[in-house]
Amino acid sequence: MATIFISTGEVSGDMQGAMLVEALYRQAQSVGIPLEIMALGGAKMAQAGAVLLGDTTGIGSVGILESLPYIWPTLQIQRCAKAYLRNSPPDVIILIDYLGPNLGIGNFAKEQVPQVPRIYYIAPQEWVWSLGDRTTTEIVRLCDRLLAIFPTEARYYQEHGAVVDWVGHPFIDVLQNAPTREMARQTLGIESDELAIALLPASRQQELRYLLPVMFEAAQQIQTHHPSVQFYLPLSWEKYRPTLETEIQRYGLRAKLVEANQSRMAIAAADLAITKSGTVNLEIALLNVPQVVIYRVNPLTAWIARHLLKFSIPFMSAPNLVLMKSIVPELLQESATTENIVREALDLLENPKRREQMQQDYQQMRDALGEPGVCDRAAQIILGLVKS
């Protein structure tokens, strides 16, 4: 029996991990390798067949101050994972994104179980927001192999000495059978001529605080311009339902909550998405839906990052990062105002040339993300290390 350990965190990591778990079991079965997968992740990975040592989907954050409440639960889960690695070393260790915690696990594994191959799949985006080479050097040092999903990521880590395979982006696989706009609207009961806007404010608790008010204020103003608009809010977490229901009523929005398992359907049905920055931006782009991307963190976190850490990035959202080109508007921190969101949203709704240009850029972006079969290629490389 071969054993693989996977470590990831947050909602997006759980989704990426689940796709990899499915591919690993599929490929292992095809070559006759009995397989067990142990993991730090969430419900999607468990559903795909991984045995969870800890649930990490609810303890993620972006920012310095925002991460403080999650330090202790993260350390507890890390302690459990390290005990497992020491007492029952797997055949392969896979780290998915989740920079701080995975550096801890990777370094521990390198010291305590150096014979176990360590693979970074979807490495931290050092190629975008590195403040120097220190963390990049640490990532390269602790992993034996790096499976990159972006071409720029692959080049960056190769230049820093990593053994890299560019496998392509897993969303290429996921969206092979994505619903069309017409199919999605029929499934959700949306009329073909109804103006539908998807609102995606949060997958983390902090985002409800910093993004939801400005996003709902913008939606309120868009509703005055287009009184027949219907907003759709996919639920990333069931625990957010009471807050969202209360705020929908408070802002007087014509809005419906959509269950998590139909979030892709709601996005595909939309004429526009107003969304937080995150993995979902790429999903929206691959569904060919115009979008406005916003993000805010605690103002003190932003000040520290800019003035003390000298932090700056060319882009934040994945569609822009693929080609290092401004495809979708990004409204970050002070720029994420009601007025700016409304301006960008109305322009995309009412300016056909702007929509067409964005969708042409989406196609160019899609072409740069590789060929279908991404997760199976990654699984084959991983299982090759198991067999060796």
List helix spans (H) across 226-317: 241-251, 263-269, 280-286, 299-303
Nearest CA-CA partner of 292 in 332, 248, 322 = 332
Model confidence over 130-162: pLDDT tens digits? 666 889 999 999 999 999 999 999 999 999 999
pLDDT for the residue numbered 307: 45
- Given a cut of 50, is residue 375 above it in pLDDT? yes
Model confidence over 37-96: pLDDT tens digits? 999 999 999 999 999 999 987 665 555 445 555 566 777 888 999 999 999 999 999 999
- Given a cut of 90, is residue 285 above it in pLDDT? yes
Averaged pLDDT of the chain: 90
Model confidence over 170-219: pLDDT tens digits? 999 988 889 999 999 999 999 999 999 999 987 777 788 889 999 999 99
Backbone angles phi, psi at 337, to 5 degrees: -105, 160
| Contact between 108 and 82 (Cβ < 8 Å) | yes
pLDDT for the residue numbered 47: 96
Handedness of CA 42, 46, 47, 49 (dihedral sign): positive
Model confidence over 95-132: pLDDT tens digits? 999 888 999 999 999 999 999 999 999 998 888 876 66
> Which residues neighbour 334 within 8 Å (Cβ) at sequence distance 6 or greater?
none
